Chain A
Amino acid sequence: MPNQDALPARHQETQETLAVSGLLRAWGKGDLKAREKLMPLVYQELRHRAAAYLRRERTDHTLQPTALVNEAYIRLMGQERVVWQNRAHFYGIAAQMMRRILVDHARGHGRGKRFGGAVRVTLDERVGTAAPRDCELLLLDQALNELAVIDSQQAQIVELRYFGGLTESEVANVLTVSRSTVTREWLIAKGWLFRRITGG
């Protein structure tokens, strides 16, 4: 319901807080339906926050996705203490949501650049357009979808790091793999995406 989006999120607070922690717990116990239900709540909250950041808030240091996700987390979870496992789940969702938000944002802003097919982007072309990063973000999003087909774990690592803003050790925690695996897979994924986008 698009026009609901016009409602300031602060009007809809309390039930959500309860819902989110319950859902996170249920999901932690393996209830996958809980995850589905969690998505829109997290999405809405993050979107609200991302919008605030991107529209007006221009601080020089707090524009970090982790801070944003943290704020969203705190607001959604209220004062409840949560075990790390839940937090990890949350970051996983959040990264995915941030990706959607930012890609949608870029779509709204991108101009004059097709992102389907094998588009060869040269540095000059990118710098020349009015919103190069929007285009890059869309290209990256698409390339990431392609990477997910051949290597879903690598795609997940990129999602968590690039869109979720997580550090390597946080990624390792979320995916319950070793940090060196994250480092290695990240390097390969980065090269793969770079090659895909620059058309080499």
Chain B
Amino acid sequence: MDTPSWHRVKEIIEAALARPAAERAAFVLRACGDDTSLRTEVESLLAAMEQAGNFIEQPALELMSLSAAFPSGWIPDLGRRALEPGNSVGPYTIREFVGAGGMGEVYRAHDSNLNRDVALKVRPAAFALDADRFARFRREAQMLAALNHPNIGTIYGLENSDGVQALVLELVEGPTLADRIARGRVPVSEALSIAKQIAQGLEAAHKRGIIHSDLKPANIKLRPDGTVKILDFGLAKALDAVDASSAPSDTAALPSSSISQSGLIFGTAAYMSPEQARGEAVDKRTDIWAFGCVLFEILAGRPAFRGDAVEDILAAVLHQEPDWSLLPPETPAEVVRLLHKCLVKNADRRLHDIAAARIEIESAIAPPPITIPGKSGRRFLVLAGVAAIAITVAVWSSLRPATPVSQVSPIVKRLEIRLPERGPLARAWSMPLGEGQPSIAITPDGTRLVYVLERQGVTQLYLRGIDQLQATPVPQTEGAFGPFFSPDGKWIGFFAGNKLRKVAVSGGDPIDLCDAPNPYGGSWSTDGTILFAPDEGRRPALIRETGGIPQPILVKNSGGSFRQPDILPGRKAAIVSNPLRGGVGVLLFETGEFRLLVERAGGGRYAPSGHLVFARAGTLLAVPFDLKELAVTGPESVILEGVRMDPAGPVMPQSVFSHDGTLVYAPGAFVPNAVRPVWVDRQGKVESLGMPPGSYGNFSLSPDGRRLAIVIANPNKDLWVRDLDRGTLTQLTRGAEIGPSRWWDDDRVVFGWRANPIAQIFSVPSDGSGKPEPLTTQRFVGTSLSADRELLAGFRQDPVTGQDLYVLALKGNQPPQLFLRTRFSEVGPHFSPNGHWIAYVSDESGQYEIYVRPYPPVPGVGKQVSNGGGEHIVWSRDGKELFYRNAQKWMSAAVTFQPEFKVEKPQLLFEGPYVMIGNQSFDVSADSKRFLVLDPVEQEPITHLNVVLNWFEDLKQKTMPDAARGAR
């Protein structure tokens, strides 16, 4: 049982590594003698080292940036991809990467034999099957391939060539069911149509004795024509059988390998049947369970069994009932009954035949939907809740002083508060790369407002009666942020100088309450305690309003960040935003339990109208919320769009509301990562192009300088042309992933298209009058065209030497020719206007610098242009200057070619925080007098706030079920 010493483990591993691979197992056996725990550890670690493959080989930041660049798509794993577009596997040519799943990476590929596109599922090299196991897997796959049904994705076969093992599958277009559910509520009728088709597919397979054993929304595709296709039928089981049955039996076996291999195959705890979770044998009833889970999730919009970690999910599968109240009230009764029958934990008492499920669903689809009996009961509870709240509101109303505002009848009214122009609303930051803090607070009775303004980088609290015209600064609150009011409205709690402080509304010095490093919000309860979230919300604590020692709340299942607390009436729990645990939830003080209420949300706050109000990407939403059960009791509704949030933290709104329904918010569009193209001249003077902030990327100016080809990500990266004189915008591509572009002449734009069908160079008329046409059949994306339009320069990734430079002749259909290869990265080549030189970027000195070499290459001839860093090259049209960027400096180097190539010392053009999106968001006007760059839209200062009186009326109206609203 004792743990072997690390020193000894390492010693043996190092010695083993020094030996040929074939001898290692025997060596380990010898070296460990009869110390079995040592041997187990050494073997396990050696196996892990082998499996680790490319794990963490690519530095973290590169991966993070990649994911930020492609937020909607699949995000790369810690390792690199196995294949690149253009690679061949047997008769298949890889076209693009589609995604990754438990059994490996999936690519779209073209089958040259049958001239059709297929999906290739490539097994990770680390888990490649040996010949014997591969043969056995082939037999399994052949059986599965015989399965032919319109609701099942067909397996065409297996491929084992070019060192790649891959399954060849029917390519099914369209989103997965998981995507569809994530997008929003699936209407019941659509849900039933999907479920019926899933049942039909399962039925056909079960008749042949094949079970899926890994059915889940991510394995179900919805084709645009409405057909539902189940993918990966039987594969999990087949692979697992092959893996498990052939574990080597000799003593040198690596015990961890087969275990973790099956762990890698089975992975979806939320849809595992109880018998599967216990590791018992499975049969078709396991599919029926999973079918129940899937149907539940389509209807309810969230999984039947949930948890923060795999073991929590498994515990829920084994021991908990799904929350039946999540099913929409209009779910037909027979479907609810069917779900109950599918989700019986004991397989013997579960529905045995998927045909029975199909029949139930068909009969539910046929007659008009019948509402379930329990519905009226729930409605009553909601009403009771509203009544209770009405009383609370009455109490609040009686407490509040009479002001003109309070006399307003419950008609929604909107007004505006102007903030001083020189002191916009502060957007204080807390997290290192983090999210802004709310800078507005309102008293519970809605009579006073406090906001944080920022002057010359220093924040300060400003107090304003809702009936006053002016706000007054609160003395000694410099550096304050995150304000909140006491329940009686007489005190303001806030953070400054790593402390939690309070200051009386009536005046006086602020009082320190306690230390609060990196706080994330506070909430003041009617019992005289304050809940606050120091340490970025990781240690929520309660403190008396008079000060003292904070009492930390011991949070169960630690891990999470409990931000922007809002203590609930009753003072036993608080609504908190917890991005780490998925959204807004409720934190119970006594047990430390955190329950997630709404996902992908922040800024949650309880509204006495009986709702939980929260924010998501510039929008305020609400769900009915049961204060007693601390549970969400109905669907989400959008209440208000256009609320300011920080682009980096799209869930934290600048909005507050009082208990009587006065909403105050900072209006504004939510534009993530917005930039705008601007001209900058040699004096650094900035001139707008008049284009609105947006997600712009690579661009280039036309030869006549009057038009701009620019990529706009919305959400695809399509190419547009902006006429700079007329200010019009013409779309040239649709649904594309466009890379850098160049103008062929004034009438055509040349661009690299990364996605569909493959990375290639196209050209398109610049006036939108025609479709893109490939310029060449070579799969090569260049960044620079030679002046004679014969050559295209670009770079390619090499696994050994990194990025290398290539030049492609556009005529003659020859593959690109290598221009420069070193062990360093060379990127961004640009032909000089006379075509005899190529300027490029290389990191050979340890940082990126600009170099110039002759074209065609002359060994040993070349010059360094920049000094102290440089990237992103643009030549002046006359070829006399090279422009480039060095961090926030934009530089110019004068060059002469005759009698010999000479570079002057680079001069500063201008300085600025301009950014590069793509490789080519820098260009120069034809006269070299001004430069086009992307200016990050530092968010517009918040100069006014909107006020909505009696906002709860709006809230109630918008959260009413359709029927009750009388809309139909």
A binding-site residues for B, Cβ under 8 Å? 1-3, 5-8, 10-11, 47, 50-68, 70-71, 74-75, 79, 98-102, 104-117, 119-128, 130-133, 136-137, 140, 150-151, 158, 161-165, 184, 187-188, 190-195, 198-200
B82 to chain A, nearest CB (A): 14
Q: A50-B61, A63-B61, A70-B846 are in contact. Are A195 and B263 (CB under 8 A)?
A: no
B310 interface residue (CB < 8 Å to A): yes
B835 interface residue (CB < 8 Å to A): no
A68 to chain B, nearest CB (A): 7
Please determine whether A108 and B649 come into contact, CB atoms closer than 8 angstroms.
Answer: yes
Please determine whether B61 and A165 come into contact, CB atoms closer than 8 angstroms.
Answer: yes
B77 interface residue (CB < 8 Å to A): yes
Please determine whether A191 and B100 come into contact, CB atoms closer than 8 angstroms.
Answer: no
One of B65-73, B277-285, B615-623 contacting the partner: B65-73
Please determine whether A64 and B59 come into contact, CB atoms closer than 8 angstroms.
Answer: yes
Q: Give which listed residue, B50, B433, B559, contacts A54 with CB less than 8 A.
A: B433
B757 interface residue (CB < 8 Å to A): no
Query: Is the contact region of chain B dominated by helix, strand, or loop, or is it mixed?
Result: mixed
B854 interface residue (CB < 8 Å to A): no
Which positions 53-104 of chain B face chain A at CB distance < 8 Å? Answer: 55-57, 59-69, 74-78, 99-102
Which residue of chain B has its CB nearest to the CB of A158?
B56
Chain A residues in 8 Å Cβ range of B599: 111-112
Q: Give which listed residue, B45, B63, B432, contacts A133 with CB less than 8 A.
A: B63
Please determine whether B561 and A107 come into contact, CB atoms closer than 8 angstroms.
Answer: yes
Please determine whether A199 and B433 come into contact, CB atoms closer than 8 angstroms.
Answer: no
Please determine whether A150 and B102 come into contact, CB atoms closer than 8 angstroms.
Answer: no
Chain B residues in 8 Å Cβ range of A10: 888, 913
Which residue of chain B has its CB nearest to the CB of A181?
B14
Please determine whether A98 and B55 come into contact, CB atoms closer than 8 angstroms.
Answer: no
Please determine whether B454 and A6 come into contact, CB atoms closer than 8 angstroms.
Answer: yes
Please determine whether A122 and B579 come into contact, CB atoms closer than 8 angstroms.
Answer: no
Please determine whether A194 and B52 come into contact, CB atoms closer than 8 angstroms.
Answer: yes
A11, A52, A70, A191, most chain B CB atoms within 10 A: A191
Q: How far is the CA of A188 from the CA of B437 in the complex (A)?
A: 43
Count of B interface residues, CB-CB < 8 Å: 118
B204 to chain A, nearest CB (A): 25
Please determine whether B264 and A54 come into contact, CB atoms closer than 8 angstroms.
Answer: no
Chain B residues in 8 Å Cβ range of A3: 426, 428-429, 459, 479, 481
Please determine whether A59 and B918 come into contact, CB atoms closer than 8 angstroms.
Answer: yes
B binding-site residues for A, Cβ under 8 Å? 6, 10, 13-14, 17, 44-52, 55-57, 59-69, 74-78, 99-102, 178, 218, 256-257, 259-260, 263-264, 266-269, 308-312, 426-435, 437, 454, 457, 459, 479, 481, 495, 497-498, 518-519, 536, 557-559, 561, 579-583, 596, 599-600, 647-649, 673, 675, 697, 739, 795, 803, 825, 827-828, 841, 843, 846-848, 868-869, 871-872, 887-888, 913, 915-919, 936
25 contacts between A and B (CB under 8 A): A2-B519, A3-B481, A6-B426, A51-B433, A58-B916, A61-B795, A62-B916, A64-B61, A70-B848, A102-B64, A104-B536, A107-B536, A111-B583, A111-B600, A113-B309, A122-B102, A122-B267, A128-B267, A133-B63, A133-B67, A137-B60, A184-B17, A188-B14, A200-B44, A200-B47
Please determine whether B263 and A200 come into contact, CB atoms closer than 8 angstroms.
Answer: yes
Chain B residues in 8 Å Cβ range of A67: 843, 847-848
Please determine whether A198 and B264 come into contact, CB atoms closer than 8 angstroms.
Answer: yes
Please determine whether A191 and B60 come into contact, CB atoms closer than 8 angstroms.
Answer: no
Please determine whether A47 and B433 come into contact, CB atoms closer than 8 angstroms.
Answer: yes
Chain B residues in 8 Å Cβ range of A112: 308, 581-582, 596, 599
Q: A57-B915, A105-B64, A136-B78 are in contact. Are A62 and B48 (CB under 8 A)?
A: no
Q: A61-B828, A200-B263 are in contact. Are A124 and B268 (CB under 8 A)?
A: yes
B718 to chain A, nearest CB (A): 16
Q: How far is the CA of A104 from the CA of B435 in the complex (A)?
A: 12
Chain A residues in 8 Å Cβ range of B429: 2-3, 5-6
Q: Give which listed residue, A59, A62, A68, A195, contacts B44 with CB less than 8 A.
A: A195
Q: How far is the CA of A158 from the CA of B457 in the complex (A)?
A: 38
Chain B residues in 8 Å Cβ range of A108: 431, 433-435, 561, 579, 649
Please determine whether A200 and B260 come into contact, CB atoms closer than 8 angstroms.
Answer: yes
A112 to chain B, nearest CB (A): 4
Q: How far is the CA of A196 from the CA of B257 in the complex (A)?
A: 13
Q: Across the A-B interface, give the 9 residue pairs with the lowest CB-CB distance, nearest first.
A: A124-B267, A191-B49, A122-B267, A200-B260, A195-B48, A112-B582, A165-B59, A194-B52, A124-B102
Q: How far is the CA of A130 from the CA of B581 in the complex (A)?
A: 12
Chain B residues in 8 Å Cβ range of A150: 6
Please determine whether B61 and A102 come into contact, CB atoms closer than 8 angstroms.
Answer: yes
Chain A residues in 8 Å Cβ range of B102: 122-124, 127
Q: How far is the CA of A2 from the CA of B583 in the complex (A)?
A: 23
Q: How far is the CA of A54 from the CA of B65 in the complex (A)?
A: 6
Please determine whether A188 and B13 come into contact, CB atoms closer than 8 angstroms.
Answer: yes
Q: How far is the CA of A55 from the CA of B310 in the complex (A)?
A: 31
Please determine whether A123 and B256 come into contact, CB atoms closer than 8 angstroms.
Answer: no
Q: A68-B61, A74-B868 are in contact. Are A120 and B52 (CB under 8 A)?
A: no
A39 to chain B, nearest CB (A): 13
B38 to chain A, nearest CB (A): 15
Q: How far is the CA of A114 from the CA of B77 in the complex (A)?
A: 19
B240 to chain A, nearest CB (A): 13
Which residue of chain B has its CB nearest to the CB of A107?
B580
Q: Give which listed residue, A11, A59, A65, A161, contacts B61 with CB less than 8 A.
A: A65
Q: A50-B61, A67-B847, A127-B74 are in contact. Are A190 and B269 (CB under 8 A)?
A: no
Chain A residues in 8 Å Cβ range of B868: 74, 79
Please determine whether B582 and A58 come into contact, CB atoms closer than 8 angstroms.
Answer: no
Please determine whether B457 and A123 come into contact, CB atoms closer than 8 angstroms.
Answer: no
Chain B residues in 8 Å Cβ range of A116: 557-559
Chain A residues in 8 Å Cβ range of B266: 122, 124
Chain A residues in 8 Å Cβ range of B803: 61
Chain A residues in 8 Å Cβ range of B871: 59, 62
Which residue of chain A has its CB nearest to the CB of B518?
A2
Please determine whether A132 and B75 come into contact, CB atoms closer than 8 angstroms.
Answer: yes
Which residue of chain B has its CB nearest to the CB of A140?
B56
Chain A residues in 8 Å Cβ range of B311: 119
Please determine whether A56 and B936 come into contact, CB atoms closer than 8 angstroms.
Answer: yes
Please determine whether B10 and A198 come into contact, CB atoms closer than 8 angstroms.
Answer: no
Please determine whether A125 and B269 come into contact, CB atoms closer than 8 angstroms.
Answer: yes
Chain A residues in 8 Å Cβ range of B847: 66-67, 70-71, 74
B49, B256, B430, most chain A CB atoms within 10 A: B49
Q: Give which listed residue, B13, B48, B56, B68, contacts A58 with CB less than 8 A.
A: B68
Chain A residues in 8 Å Cβ range of B50: 191
Extra contacts, 14 of them, besides A70-B869, A194-B51 (Cβ < 8 A), are A2-B495, A2-B518, A58-B68, A58-B916, A58-B917, A67-B847, A111-B579, A111-B580, A116-B559, A122-B266, A124-B218, A191-B45, A194-B52, A199-B260
Please determine whether A120 and B263 come into contact, CB atoms closer than 8 angstroms.
Answer: yes
Which residue of chain A has its CB nearest to the CB of B258?
A200
Chain B residues in 8 Å Cβ range of A106: 64
B239 to chain A, nearest CB (A): 13
Please determine whether A101 and B426 come into contact, CB atoms closer than 8 angstroms.
Answer: no
Chain A residues in 8 Å Cβ range of B78: 133, 136, 140
Q: A68-B61, A122-B267 are in contact. Are A131 and B75 (CB under 8 A)?
A: yes
Chain A residues in 8 Å Cβ range of B600: 111, 130
